[in-house]
Amino acid sequence: MAASSKKIFTASRLPRNTGTSGWVAMLPTRRAGLRLQGHITSDVVIIGGGFAGLSAARRIHELDPGLKVAVLEADVVGEAAAGRNSGFIIDLPHEVSSDDYGGDSAARSKEAIVISRTAIALASAIAAEQGWSKDVFDPCGRYSVAISDEGDHHLTAYADQLGKLGEKHQLLSAREIAEVTGTRSYTSALFTPGTVMVQPAAYIRGVADSLVDPVTVYEQTPAVQFESTGAGWLVKTPEGSISTGRIVLANNGHAESFGFFKGQVLHIFTFASMTHEFDPARLSGHRKWAATPALPMGTTVRRVPGQNGDRILVRSRYTYHPGLVTGDGTLRRAGAQHDRKFKARFPTLTDIPMEYRWAGAMAVTWNSVPAFGEIEKGVFAACGCNGVGASKATASGIAAAELMLGHNSRLTEIYKRFDAPKSLPPQPLTTIGAKANLAFREWMAGAE
Ligand SMILES: Cc1cc2nc3c(=O)[nH]c(=O)nc-3n(C[C@H](O)[C@H](O)[C@H](O)COP(=O)(O)OP(=O)(O)OC[C@H]3O[C@@H](n4cnc5c(N)ncnc54)[C@H](O)[C@@H]3O)c2cc1C
């Protein structure tokens, strides 16, 4: 390739995580992983060690165990969003809301279910192979909980649509969900059995550690640049470089930091707080349950049992940060909201303070499609998680691996049909629009 046609992609910024993830803090400190030093060659380089990147590595190894794969993770595995989420690997679309449910809408929901269940199948196979306990990986299902008339109505409509899709579900009255959660705050609930609950930091570390030679994960090794060479690509890191034929870009919103999907991805952050341990006798109900809100912008709550007591996790609030970083002030404000939500739901536990608070980044596209596909010759994107990356980014990683290796499946069929992400309006309209939209939707979610 002539020097003039050389393509160079340089990271304009690297990820920075805000706050301390309770999930990471609950685990032993991670032994420092391998850092890339010097020059190596590899058949494939994967940039990003989250759900998408590690799942891509797993799938590549399944399809062709002889391929040498290097996964580059900028931080320590588990510190970014994949290790700091609420731990729901959800099998059903969040919303299947259309009054006249059928036709295209039902077909789209069925495809969304194929995507999620393909991800869950991969995760379940790893869990079985590694012999993980239910503290790490628990196929226990989830509750969607309502706290208002509007939430109740939404759950009933959702249950109706699940019935039409032939999906198992069970509506619970206020008394029945109180028996599970130990709080009378919820007005109704809907149980669906297919969600897997994970300790996200333990899960993502476990997936990384399940990868075997010739797949290697390099931690604290950001990709800072990649450039085309006659034969493929040269990926540069602070202390080394890799010559490779193919790249999987699995760094979610940070694909834009390399110049890809510019103006097509909204960088939305969400936040979580986790209490100190408390005596389990102080809250009746089950010691372990997980609930997402009836309305999408509402509050997720999880009770997590431990040897020294139980903890409650509260996740809520969405903010937009085009620079892909959020600060301590935003985290503090989200934390104040978590405290209010916690006190409203658990009036008998108001003396239990939060011990950990954290933020994490998600990449959302206007038309809810992944930022996916072969974006340069030999460079495959598995980005744009659209907020539920435990399933969607895992599936994107699998699909990118299959596309790259020419393996056809139901999943690749679906992914090949996705539209490209729609362009967002020019700045500052996107910022104004995104902030107004998030504020309005949070206001609509009300107490939920
Ligand atoms: C508080 C919170 C709760 C959430 N709850 C849920 C939930 O319950 N269920 C769910 O499905 N989703 C949830 N999410 C969203 C979910 O975490 C994301 O959708 C998911 O992590 C996206 O996965 P990913 O692999 O695409 O990206 P990420 O998990 O962000 O992984 C990308 C990785 O790329 C790395 N990286 C970036 N740039 C570079 C570079 N230049 N070189 C090398 N590495 C790089 C990053 O460090 C990161 O580890 C939640 C998110 C948050 C913040």
Per-residue pLDDT in tens (0 to 9) along the chain, 448 residues: 444 589 999 999 999 999 999 999 999 999 878 999 999 999 999 999 999 999 999 999 999 999 999 999 999 999 999 999 999 999 998 765 544 455 678 888 999 999 999 999 999 999 999 999 999 999 999 999 999 999 999 999 999 999 999 999 999 999 999 999 999 999 999 999 999 999 999 999 999 999 999 999 999 999 999 999 988 999 999 999 999 999 999 999 999 999 999 999 999 999 999 999 999 999 999 999 999 999 878 999 999 999 999 999 999 999 999 999 999 999 999 999 999 999 999 999 999 999 999 999 999 999 999 999 999 999 999 999 999 999 999 999 999 999 999 999 999 999 999 999 999 877 777 777 777 677 667 766 677 7
Which CATH architecture describes the domain 3-84+201-262+366-425? 3-Layer(bba) Sandwich (3.50)
Partners of 310 in the beta sheet? 278
Q: What is the pTM of this model?
A: 0.95
Task: Delimit the domains of the chain by residue range.
Answer: 3-84+201-262+366-425, 138-198+266-365+434-445
Ligand 1 atom having least distance to the Cα of 87: 8
Q: Please give the radius of gyration of the chain, using alpha carbons only, rounded to the nearest integer.
A: 21
Per the document, the length of the chain is 448
Judge if the beta carbon of residue 225 lies within 6 A of ligand 1.
no
CA of 81 to the centre of ligand 1 (A): 3
Which of 122, 254, 271, 273 has most ligand 1 atoms within 8 Å of CB, for mutation? 254
CA of 362 to the centre of ligand 1 (A): 6
Judge if the beta carbon of residue 85 lies within 6 A of ligand 1.
yes
**Looking at ligand 1, which residue's alpha carbon is closest to its atom 52?**
85
Judge if the beta carbon of residue 364 lies within 6 A of ligand 1.
no
- DSSP assignment of 92-107 equals S-S----SS--HHHHH
Judge if the beta carbon of residue 313 lies within 6 A of ligand 1.
no
Distance CA 207, CA 136 (A): 11
**Topology of the domain comprising 138-198+266-365+434-445:** D-Amino Acid Oxidase; Chain A, domain 2 (3.30.9)
Judge if the beta carbon of residue 391 lies within 6 A of ligand 1.
yes
How many CB atoms within 10 Å of residue 336?
11
Q: Taken in order 375, 419, 368, 401, is the CA torsion positive or negative?
A: negative
- Do the bridges between strand 240-249 and strand 233-237 make them parallel or antiparallel, or are there none, so unpaired? antiparallel
Which of 23, 252, 257 has most ligand 1 atoms within 8 Å of CB, for mutation? 252
Torsion angle (degrees, nearest 10) of CA 61, 62, 66, 68: -10
- 158 touches 92 (CB < 8 A): no
Residues 6+ apart with CB under 8 A from 398: 55, 56, 58, 59, 118, 119, 122, 411
Distance CA 283, CA 270 (A): 27
Residue 402, both tokens: 């299959």
**Looking at ligand 1, which residue's alpha carbon is closest to its atom 53?**
360
**Alpha helices, DSSP H, located in 256-386:** 328-345
CA of 373 to the centre of ligand 1 (A): 19
**Looking at ligand 1, which residue's alpha carbon is closest to its atom 47?**
74
**Alpha helices, DSSP H, located in 49-191:** 51-63, 103-130, 149-165, 174-181
How does 264-291 read in b/e, with b if 16+ C-beta sit within 10 Å?
A: bbbbbbbbbbbbebbeeeebeeeebbbb
Judge if the beta carbon of residue 11 lies within 6 A of ligand 1.
yes
Q: Give helix then strand counts, H and E, for the chain.
A: 10, 20
- DSSP assignment of 170-237 equals EEEEHHHHHHHHS-S--SEEEEETTPEEE-HHHHHHHHHHH--TTEEEESS----EEEE-SSSEEEEE
Percent composition of the chain: helix, strand, coil (DSSP 3-state, to 5)? 35, 25, 40
- Omega before 428 cis (within 30°)? yes
Judge if the beta carbon of residue 91 lies within 6 A of ligand 1.
no
